[in-house]
C-alpha cells in the first residue's frame, strides 16, 4: 500500500526581490514593495510530502526522526533567520518563494533516501502558497 | 467531475510496538511512541469523494449520508478508543497514521456507492498528516 506523509516545518527569513538585469524602474514596477533595498521578512511554513510503500513491519512510509533530522540539518539550519539574498543558492536567482520551493525540493530529493520526496509546499503568508513536485503534476 | 471533502474529528490513543522486534529495536525505531500505556491525539479526518453533479439535486453526494457513513464506520469505532486494543484491525497491525488512513479507506470504500472515494487524509497533529488514495 502506498501512502503519502506530510510534515510541516516553520522558519523565518528575509529577502528582497530584485533582478540585476532590470532597470530600477522595471524592478519597482515588477516587484513593488518587495523591491525595498533593505529587504523584508516572512514566517515561512514548509510542508514536505514524502511517498512510499508502508513498511509492513513498522507501519511507516519512513521514520519521521530521519525526515525531521534531515530537514533540520539541510533546510532549517540553512535558511532560518537568514537573509536569503546573501546565500550562495540565490546569487544567480531571485529568492522568490517559487525559487525557494524548487531549491528546497531539490535539496531534499538529493539527500533524503528513505522515501520518495513527492512535493514541497511553502506558505509565504497565510494568503500565498507555492507548490513544486519536481516538475510533475500535483495531485489533490 | 467535482471533488467534495467532508471533515470529522476523533480522539484516540495508541502506541507503536512490533512483537517481532526486540525491546531495544522497538525503542530505537519507535522512540517515545513505544510507551506501552499509549498516548493520544486529536485526529482530524478529511474524506474526499468525486463524481458528477446530479442535475436534479445539484449534489455530488448527499452530505448527510456521507456524514452518517463516516460516523458509523469510523468515528463510532475509533473515537475515545485505545486503537491497539479496541479496533479489530490494529490488534495485529501497528496503528500508525499511515495504517490508520489505509484502514479508514477500507472501512469507507465498500459503503460509498453514491460517489467515488478519492482520498483519505488523516491529521495526527496540525503539522503531520497522511494521504491515501487507495494505491496498492
Q: Strand B116-125 and strand B81-82: pairing?
A: unpaired
Q: Which residues are CB-contacts of B59 (< 8 A; sequence separation ≥ 6)?
A: B53
Which pTM value belongs to this model? 0.94
Average pLDDT over residues A52-58: 97
Closest Cα in chain A, distance from residue B104 (Å): 13
Mutual orientation of helices A97-111 and A64-71 as an angle, nearest 10°?
Answer: 130
Q: What is the pLDDT of residue B1?
A: 92
Identify whether the C-beta of residue A70 lies closer than 8 Å to the C-beta of residue A46: no
Q: Identify all chain B residues contacting A63, using CB atoms and an 8 Å cutoff.
A: 29
Question: In the numeric block, which cell numbers belong to residue B1?
Answer: 467531475
Angle, CA of B7, B9 and B15, to the nearest 5°:
130
Q: Strand A82-83 and strand A2-15: pairing?
A: parallel
- Whether A1 and B132 lie within 8 Å, measured CB to CB: yes
Q: What is the pLDDT of residue B74?
A: 98
Q: What is the pLDDT of residue A120?
A: 98
Percent pLDDT > 90 in chain A is: 99
Q: What is the pLDDT of residue B112?
A: 93
Confidence at B124, pLDDT banded by 50, 70, 90:
very high
- Whether B94 and A3 lie within 8 Å, measured CB to CB: no
Q: What is the pLDDT of residue B113?
A: 85
Is residue B114's pLDDT more than 90?
no
Angle, CA of A112, A118 and B44, to the nearest 5°:
110
Is residue B108's pLDDT more than 80?
yes
Average pLDDT over residues A120-140: 95
Confidence at A33, pLDDT banded by 50, 70, 90:
very high
Q: What is the pLDDT of residue A140?
A: 86
HSE of B16, CA atoms in CB hemisphere, 13 A? 21
Lowest model confidence (mean pLDDT) among A30-34, A78-82, B53-57, B129-133: B53-57
- Whether A64 and B128 lie within 8 Å, measured CB to CB: yes
CA–CA distance, A130 with B108 (Å, rounded to integer): 32
Identify whether the C-beta of residue A60 lies closer than 8 Å to the C-beta of residue B93: no
What b/e readout covers B13-27, taking b as 16+ CB neighbours within 10 angstroms? bbbbbbeebeeeebe
Amino acid at each position: 500500500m502506498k501512502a503519502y506523509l506530510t510534515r510541516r516545518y516553520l522558519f523565518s527569513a528575509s529577502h528582497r526581490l530584485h533582478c540585476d538585469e532590470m532597470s530600477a524602474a522595471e524592478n519597482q514596477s515588477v516587484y513593488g514593495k518587495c523591491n525595498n533595498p533593505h529587504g523584508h521578512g516572512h514566517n515561512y511554513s514548509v510542508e514536505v510530502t514524502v511517498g512510499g510503500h508502508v513498511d509492513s513491519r513498522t507501519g511507516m512510509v519512513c521514520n519521521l526522526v530521519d525526515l525531521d533530522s534531515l530537514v533540520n540539518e539541510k533546510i532549517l539550519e540553512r535558511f532560518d533567520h537568514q537573509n536569503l539574498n546573501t546565500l550562495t543558492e540565490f546569487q544567480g536567482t531571485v529568492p522568490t518563494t517559487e525559487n525557494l520551493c524548487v531549491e528546497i525540493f531539490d535539496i531534499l530529493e538529493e539527500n533524503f533516501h528513505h522515501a520518495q520526496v513527492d512535493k514541497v509546499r511553502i506558505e509565504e503568508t497565510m494568503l500565498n502558497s507555492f507548490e513544486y513536485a519536481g516538475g510533475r503534476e500535483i495531485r489533490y | 467531475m467535482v471533488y467534495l471533502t467532508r471533515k470529522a474529528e476523533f480522539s484516540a490513543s495508541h502506541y507503536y510496538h512490533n512483537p517481532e522486534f526486540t525491546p531495544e529495536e522497538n525503542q530505537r525505531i519507535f522512540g517515545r511512541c513505544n510507551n506501552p500505556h499509549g498516548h493520544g491525539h486529536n485526529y482530524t479526518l478529511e474524506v474526499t469523494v468525486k463524481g458528477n453533479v446530479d442535475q436534479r439535486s445539484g449534489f455530488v453526494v448527499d452530505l448527510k449520508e456521507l456524514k452518517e457513513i463516516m460516523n458509523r464506520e469510523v468515528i463510532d469505532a475509533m473515537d475515545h478508543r485505545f486503537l491497539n486494543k479496541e479496533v479489530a484491525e490494529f490488534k495485529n497491525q501497528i496503528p500508525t497514521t499511515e495504517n490508520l488512513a489505509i484502514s479508514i479507506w477500507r472501512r469507507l470504500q465498500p459503503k460509498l456507492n453514491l460517489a467515488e472515494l478519492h482520498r483519505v487524509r488523516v491529521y495526527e497533529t496540525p503539522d503531520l498528516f497522511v494521504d491515501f488514495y487507495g494505491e496498492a
